Structures are given as C-alpha cells and as structure tokens.
Amino acid sequence: MAIEYINPLDLRKIFVDYFLGSSQLFTYAFVFLFSFICAYFQMSSRVFMVLLVLSSLIFSFMLGQPIYILIILVVGYISFKSLARILT
C-alpha cells in the first residue's frame, strides 16, 4: 500500500479534490462566499461585477467549458443582490 503525501501548498488538491469533491461545487461555493463577503461589506455593484467577471473567466478556463461564464455570472449576481437586501 503506497502512502500519498500532500504538499501543503497545493491548494487545488486540498480544497477542490478533498474538501468539496468536485471543481464545479468549489466554483459555486467560492462565488456564493464571494457574494456574501461583498454584500456584507456593502461593496458597490460596479466593483462587484468587475471582480465577478474576472473570477468567472478564471473559473470557466479552469473547468474547461465556456458556458460556465454565463452561469457563474447569473448565480453570483443573484446571490449578491439578494444577500445585499437581506444584510441592509
């Protein structure tokens, strides 16, 4: 039986593979957490959308499917607006 050692700086293996199990779930968890933090600190919608577009581009390249850009944008925007209304 071979023992596999995990590099402590390999964050992708730790968070994506072991913590959540799939990269799609990690993406949506990150977008929801990002939306919550931005809504909690009352970030402006324009700055949030710029950061959301950049992160959705990065995640869509990571996942390898361009349709995820639109899905991540919609999920992020809806969660940000709903959390902003709840937290204010």
Q: Find where tokens 């390249």 sit.
A: 61
pTM to 2 decimal places = 0.72
Which residues, in sequence order, are CB contacts of 87 under 8 Å at separation 6+? 39, 40, 42
| Structural domain spans, the chain | 40-88
Q: pLDDT band for position 82 (50/70/90)?
A: very high
Listed residue (46, 86, 54) closest to 72, CA to CA: 54
- Model pLDDT for residues 29-71, shown as the tens digit of each residue: 888 999 999 999 999 999 999 999 998 888 777 777 778 788 8
